[in-house]
Amino acid sequence: MMYVRSLTDEGDAKFREYLKNVQEYPRTAKPDLNQEKFSQDLTLEGIDVTINPNKQFRTKMDMAKHLDESFKDADVGFNELIEYNGLWSWLAYVFFDQLCPVEDGERPLGQTERYICEKSYSSYSKHLVAFPYYVYSIHDEKYSKPFLEHPVDYVGNITEQIGSRKYIMSSKSLVKVVHKLYWDENKGIKEGVASRKGPGSFRRFGKVVEQLKINYDLHGMPEKQILNVLPSEFDKWLED
């Protein structure tokens, strides 16, 4: 076990340099970012949280659970951690080989924001560690499933189209609606809901919510009321 740390500005730059190098040379050795100049010991801030840096995660849910349990054991909550974007970058550094494994001699790195956590929500929602913890800490395990029952390195349409919308993700009722529409307990994400142009898809849900919130206080409405004001194009997913 080890105490969590937060990347300094120098550590952030060093991690970015490593990410750049690893795209060309996938097996480049990770730099030691646990040195004082590269990361801050958060116990100095009263955050006495320990994690298992060698723990292997089957899904994002497993990772979020581990972090949630670790933070709760130290009596630290989400609101206390949100400002430490360097913490999430450090956690991505620690678990990097799981978040970006070598496949056929290459690392499918994707956007830097998957590993480097910026302060904006749009960046936060793309982060492979911060976002799963955020979802799990606000919504219980059941309603987190559409976003978290995936491999830790997976970046799917539901996160890009719905998870990136703070208005939706900060509402328990709206996330319950997402679960009701798009999640099958036996099969996972329902087939066809990720279609770019299909009626009632992930993409359409985000756009419809943007329209509805002009006339409805969706955050103040329970799940059933929101389902009642959705256009009929979403009925198909309730019938499946």
Residue range 188-200, pLDDT digits in tens: 999 888 877 788 9
One domain, residues 69 and 162: no
The predicted pLDDT at position 6 comes to: 96
Residue 104, phi-psi category: left (phi > 0), alpha (psi -120 to 50), beta (remainder): left
Looking at the fold, whether 146 and 37 belong to one and the same domain comes out as: yes
Same domain, yes or no: 57 and 144: yes
Q: Tell me which of 140 and 144 has the higher pLDDT.
A: 144
- Between 58 and 124, whose confidence is greater? 58
**Buried/exposed 130-143: b ≥16 CB within 10 Å, e otherwise:** bbbbbbbbebeeeb
Number of domains in the chain: 2
Q: pLDDT band for 61, please (50, 70, 90 cuts).
A: very high
Residue 240 confidence (pLDDT) above 70: no
Q: Are residues 208 and 96 in the same domain?
A: no
pLDDT score recorded for residue 83: 77
Q: What pLDDT, on a 0 to 100 scale, did the predictor assign at position 224?
A: 96
User: Is the model's pLDDT at 156 over the cut of 90?
Assistant: no
Identify the domain containing residue 203 by its residue range: 156-240
Domain edge (last residue) among 124, 154, 184: 154
Highest mean predicted confidence (pLDDT) among 113-122, 153-162, 164-173: 164-173
60, 147 in Cβ contact below 8 A?
yes
User: Which of 50-64, 156-170, 195-209 has the largest mean confidence?
Assistant: 50-64
Question: Between 34 and 199, whose confidence is greater?
Answer: 34
pLDDT (mean) for 108-127: 89
Note whether 23 and 52 are same-domain residues: yes
Q: Please check the confidence at residue 77 and state whether its pLDDT lies above 80.
A: no
* Nearest Cα residue to 153 out of 96, 200, 89: 96
What is the chain's mean pLDDT, rounded? Answer: 92
21-35, 69-83, 127-141: least confidently modelled range: 69-83
